Structure 1
Amino acid sequence: MRHTLLSRRVFLLAAGLLFTGFLLNSCLQTASFGLDFQRMFGWISQYPLLYITGSLFFFFLLLAALVILPNMYIGPGIIILLVAITATADYKKLATTGEPLFPWDLLLLKNAADMRTITKGMISPLMLAAAVLSAAVLIWLLRRLPVLKLRLPLRFLLGSASILMLAGFISMVGGQSSLASSLKYQNVFWNQKVNYTQNGFLYAFTGNLKQNLMEQPEGYSRQAIKEIAARYSEQPAAVRASAAGEQPNILFMMDEAFFDLTRLEGLAFSEDPLSFIHAAESKVPSGYLLSPEFGGNTANVEFEALTGLSMYFLNDGSIPYQQRLVKMSSMPSIVSILKERGYKAEALHPFDATFYNRNRVYPVLGFDSFTSEKDLGDSGRITPDGYISDKFAVQEAVRRLKSAADPLFLHLVTMQNHFPFTKGLNGPNTISVSGVQAGYKDEIETYAQNARLTDEALADLQQELLTIERPTIAVFWGDHLPALSAGIYTDAGWDGEPRLKHETKLMVLANFDIGADPLGTLSPAFLGPEVFRLSGMSLPPYYKLLEQVQNEIPGLSKAVLLGSSGPFSGLTPKQQGLLDDYRLVEYDLLEGENYSAGLLF
């Protein structure tokens, strides 16, 4: 009788785990479809084998957790909690940036405390209450469920079988086996939105565990790189007539989530939040930066600006800092080019040094030093809960430029304008905005206040440049548009307008004559050659290649291709040839044998 009762309980427990496995898979998929249950059921009907095998993965994961820990209920409870957190993170990331959750995003867990700060406001009180209630119910169930005891041999057998099944699943998906193909799985690594939509969250996420940044281009070899190096070494470089006279200081100022919000149709401002920028943009080289990102992934914009490599060639969802550069010992960049010419190179970022592995990546790029939030104290915050202000960051940058004995390359990455756009975070709002829905009014007025503070900081920078003895050139740009509520962009008519949703403000200031030719719209990868030309410095062969690409396709991104006269879709043979050369060099530096380092730099 006792044996029968135990067998029944074990059967019910297994059935419960199987049901929970299907439920967890459904929850993850529903989150991936923006909580659209109809799309989730449609996906199940179209890809039933992917759904069933994915659910069995969760069953074996739950079973393994059950037999490994002494308390048979704690393990599955932990798995359920982790899946719930993953589904929430995937849903919120999709809603904010339009991208799903990738394996390398988990590397940010080491910055959990800072993530809590920068995502404050993204989790609604209702969601938080639901999470607390769910946790309470789970704890209550753990205490009420009957105690089951499995003998050690059975635990070992079930645990071993589960681990083998889990490992087999990961191997099958990662290896793109014929079995995976028979289930209708296809790793669409070049389009991650399609990858997650078609294969489901579990298969797409698992398939990305072994994902490279880019695939090897046809024709890659040492000889091909040598021919590219010879071709562009012979190219004359266009140098501006006005040169600095001596090697100038160079300041890169990448401003967090900064764009020209007055471009949003239908909004009226009580006063211009960007009065300095709008007055100065006709007097200095200015235009727009075509960001490869929207709402996040700052490190990818920084990667383009510093290395001259383009996100255009990389697989969707890639974050080179976390996937590749952190594993390298060196990477050619504007930093290494300038250091060979006698420059000192410093990085300044008023936030956590470990975010996006900057503390490990910056030495790879060649920086001599890195100053982060912990080195700056709290004096630069407008309010105790706010980020260090752009004004304080500019003051610190100017101090370093003035005290430098040698020409200095200073890379500044600000934080003031980062999400959340909480009213009062950077002092009281001083600009009122009309033409906006009531639910978005505080948000857009808070962003306008932040933008005004950045505009004032940039005005201060212009004045301070005049007090620096060495010729100095400062390149200012926003890394990406802010993660404002989607309705703000929809009301402005920006849905379906990739150019508008990727253009941020770009402006170059200097204390010597650099002219006032408009810059148009440029990709971050072309900032290095542009500042070299403006300051009269010679271009290495790699920058000559970038110069040729820029002349044909100044805006190079997956969102939109821009020529000198606007967007286009088809490439001419000349443009395709340039991109083929560019792709080969990028592959060589990131995934290949690094022949380019000694030939093009």
Structure 2
Amino acid sequence: MSTFFQFLKHVPSRIMIIILPFLLMGMVEYLERGTYQELMKWVMNHPLSMVLAYFVVGTLYLFLIALTGRSRLSFWLLCVCLLPLGAISGSKLKAIGAPYYPWDLAFNNQIMEYQAFLRGYLNVRILVCVVVFLLLIAILFHLFLRRHRIRFTWIERGIYALIAIIMSTSLYMDKPIPFMNMYGLYTVPWDQTLTYDENGYLFSSVQMLGFLQVDKPKGYSKKTIDSILSQIPESKSTNEKKPNIIVMLSEAFWDPTIMKNITFSRDPIPNLHRLQKTYTSGWMLSPQFGGSTANVEFEVLTSNSMRFLANLPTKYCLISNI
């Protein structure tokens, strides 16, 4: 009973555990978007995504408190981890139109380029906002915790750890609490930038963690690839004149014979199959499908990457306006 009354005595201080993750979430999303207007636009248009982003920070905060038993240390550690990620993602988004993905962090992709991105991204306004945020947090800690240092019992830390485990699995796997199903949220496989724009940097990063572990295709090995390459005959051209290559792109045409458990009385596309057997043929992995496939056609026909063009849904709009 005395433990319970001791807990009630520190309830005002524990309210900080609820407030602080919300403030940090807002700051990280601000750094990723670059302006207050863009942040408020996201909050107003996608409030449920904002709630899940708050849950991400809150879950990490509870986990660190359960691990260290210290609320202030846990929050400062969280700031050290999340604020740089938000700034790096915002700088990358501004530079090449793509956020900072989990695999960028895991594989240290383009680490030198990010330094240049940050130098061009961090202006006085953003730096002032970061300093004001840190000062505000320091003032809140001073006002609420200067007299009563929060002491977390092992029971309380265990409860926080249990909550963190349940929340983390729910945010990542959508169970036991199906947040995405309840809120009607979804990812956009063919445009991950749109996923980050709608679901927020924090929650989208959790969603993308699953792509860090990609199953190895059956039979895939260096020996297999070398064997395939060795079967390709070397063609020595006796004519130095370069041929004209005609590229035909078709969105509607496809090979129905690739469908499993379906048979045909005769070959529906015999000419294509004859050409495939006679000449070089194969499969190509498209960076987009379902929607915005015109952007893939644009890249194939022009050799230009859409990452370096204006932020338009369809890049052909840019060409038509030139």
| TM above 0.5 | yes
**Distance in 1, Cα, partners of 2:300 & 2:34:** 41
Quote the residue 2:228 is aligned against. 337
Measure how far apart 1:522 and its partner are. 10
**Distance in 1, Cα, partners of 2:121 & 2:281:** 53
Distance 1:10 1:544, change over 3 A: farther
Quote the residue 1:188 is aligned against. 188
Quote the residue 1:23 is aligned against. 23
**Conserved in 2, the CA contact under 8 Å of 1:60 and 1:165?**
yes
Quote the residue 1:124 is aligned against. 119
Quote the residue 1:559 is aligned against. 295
Tell me the amino acid that sits aligned with residue 89 of structure 1: I
Q: CA offsets per residue over residues 112-152 of structure 1, 9 Å max, x none?
A: xx72x343432229949949968996997899754332222
**Distance in 2, Cα, partners of 1:176 & 1:16:** 25
Matches for 1:272-283 after TM superposition, within 5 Å: none
Measure how far apart 1:98 and its partner are. 0.8
Distance 1:48 1:328, change over 3 A: farther
Quote the residue 2:207 is aligned against. 207
Distance 1:85 1:64, change over 3 A: same
Distance 1:143 1:35, change over 3 A: closer
Matches for 1:134-173 after TM superposition, within 5 Å: 146=146, 147-172=149-174
Q: Aligned with 2:189: secondary structure?
A: coil
- Of Structure 1 and Structure 2, the greater strand share is in 1
Task: Say if 2:63 is the partner of 1:47.
Answer: no
Q: CA offsets per residue over residues 429-464 of structure 1, 9 Å max, x none?
A: xxxxxxxxxxxxxxxxxxxxxxxxxxxxxxxxxxxx
Q: CA offsets per residue over residues 218-259 of structure 1, 9 Å max, x none?
A: xxxxxxxxxxxxxxxxxxxxxxxxxxxxxxxxxxxxxxxxxx
**Conserved in 2, the CA contact under 8 Å of 1:77 and 1:138?**
no
**Conserved in 2, the CA contact under 8 Å of 1:90 and 1:101?**
yes
Matches for 1:31-110 after TM superposition, within 5 Å: 31-32=31-32, 34-109=33-108
Q: Give % identity.
A: 17
Task: Say if 2:242 is the partner of 1:516.
Answer: yes
**Conserved in 2, the CA contact under 8 Å of 1:176 and 1:187?**
no
Q: Aligned with 1:208: secondary structure?
A: helix
Q: How many residues of Structure 1 are paired with residues of Structure 2 in the alignment?
A: 263
Quote the residue 2:306 is aligned against. none
**Distance in 1, Cα, partners of 2:215 & 2:13:** 43
Q: CA offsets per residue over residues 79-132 of structure 1, 9 Å max, x none?
A: 1221112211211121122112222222224x7xx72x3434322299499499
Measure how far apart 1:74 and its partner are. 1.9
Residues 181-190 or 120-129, more deviating: 120-129
Distance 1:521 1:94, change over 3 A: farther
Measure how far apart 1:62 and its partner are. 0.8
**Distance in 1, Cα, partners of 2:31 & 2:198:** 14
**Distance in 2, Cα, partners of 1:563 & 1:120:** 28
**Distance in 2, Cα, partners of 1:326 & 1:77:** 42
Quote the residue 1:580 is aligned against. none
Tell me the amino acid that sits aligned with residue 148 of structure 1: I
Distance 1:558 1:14, change over 3 A: farther
**Distance in 1, Cα, partners of 2:101 & 2:122:** 22
Which 5+ residue runs of structure 2 have no aligned equivalent? 250-274, 285-292, 304-322
**Conserved in 1, the CA contact under 8 Å of 2:91 and 2:114?**
no
**Distance in 1, Cα, partners of 2:74 & 2:220:** 40
**Distance in 2, Cα, partners of 1:339 & 1:89:** 43
**Distance in 2, Cα, partners of 1:125 & 1:9:** 48
**Conserved in 2, the CA contact under 8 Å of 1:103 and 1:205?**
yes
Q: Aligned with 2:92: secondary structure?
A: helix
**Conserved in 1, the CA contact under 8 Å of 2:94 and 2:121?**
no
Q: Aligned with 2:117: secondary structure?
A: coil
Distance 1:9 1:138, change over 3 A: farther
**Distance in 1, Cα, partners of 2:3 & 2:172:** 36
Matches for 1:264-279 after TM superposition, within 5 Å: none
Q: Aligned with 1:73: secondary structure?
A: helix
Which 5+ residue runs of structure 1 have no aligned equivalent? 212-318, 343-406, 408-470, 474-509, 524-538, 549-556, 568-601
**Conserved in 1, the CA contact under 8 Å of 2:65 and 2:160?**
no
**Distance in 1, Cα, partners of 2:160 & 2:300:** 64
**Distance in 1, Cα, partners of 2:94 & 2:34:** 11
**Conserved in 2, the CA contact under 8 Å of 1:67 and 1:155?**
yes
Matches for 1:179-578 after TM superposition, within 5 Å: 179-211=179-211, 323=214, 329-330=220-221, 335-340=226-231, 513-518=239-244, 544-546=280-282, 559-561=295-297
Distance 1:160 1:195, change over 3 A: same
**Distance in 1, Cα, partners of 2:116 & 2:300:** 40
Distance 1:542 1:324, change over 3 A: farther
- Of Structure 1 and Structure 2, the greater helix share is in 2
Measure how far apart 1:185 and its partner are. 0.8
Distance 1:20 1:516, change over 3 A: same
